[in-house]
Amino acid sequence: MKIKEKLLENKVHISFEVFPPKTDAKFDSVRAAVDEISTLAPSFISVTYGAGGGTSKNTVKIASHIQNDLGVDSIAHLTCVSSTKEEVRQRIREMKEAGIQNILALRGDIPQDSAFSIPNQYKYAYELIEDIKTQGDFCIGAACYPEGHVESEHKEEDILHLKQKVDCGVDFLTSQMFFDNSVFYNFLYRIREKGITVPVLPGIMPVTNGKQIARSCQLSGAELPARFRAIVDKFGNNPKAMQQAGIAYATDQIIDLIANDIHNIHVYSMNKPEVAAAIMSNLSEIVK
């Protein structure tokens, strides 16, 4: 099923994100984690493309397994960075052959040690989106940044770039992680004023490792509210306590979003079925 059709339903949808294995030797362990997450009846499962596209072939394999073997809708990520146009088009052909209907089109993080872009690469996500539209009848998602893209000087500039992507044929948006819901609500208000009307899924990251959050925020541009910083300071060196606190904080964000009529929520649970299961347990009477 195309995700854009699912988002029209008058019900709460919770989706999860996983990443493919970096090596073929770890494929079975990742698939086992995906199998566990699928038992939680998510709306769909998103599969990342991997840093620099290095795990792109496994992205298609995992997304196909989710959809064709587990019976759960999937969306495969596709990025411009570190892949030529022909390599990207080959992945699109593989997705089409596997029956994958949903693609999340991204530029991707630019590697520090390689040139970007070269003549046979896409430079911007909107170019990738335009090409996907010519390759088949896909439902296309794209990324958005409630706190502004780290490379944009001003939020207004970032929204103009977002409008360009949407106008090229994007069906829905998924946000970068954020830790203050008021940031997301303000972002929605600003993009609606600019005529961006497609559904926007808030991206929620349950922080279970205090040491990794600083790096993640640096890459994403997300700010840590004082309330959340206090949690990391208190529990960051206690892995079990940090996981419990991070799940509780993410659950609180999700409940607030649902209470404010945000019905479609994407959780960056990655390959951690225990995190996904804990969140769904916390929402057992809220999401039925």
Active centre residues (catalytic): 17
Asked if 132 and 138 count as a contact pair (C-beta separation under 8 A), the reply is yes
Distance CA 187, CA 147 (A): 8
Pull the structure tokens for residue 122: 């896409």
Helix intervals (H) in 65-211: 85-97, 125-135, 155-167, 181-193
Asked if 76 and 47 count as a contact pair (C-beta separation under 8 A), the reply is yes
The strand pairing partners of 140, in sequence order, are: 103
> Does the bond joining 117 to the residue before it have cis omega, within 30 degrees of 0?
yes
Distance CA 280, CA 274 (A): 10
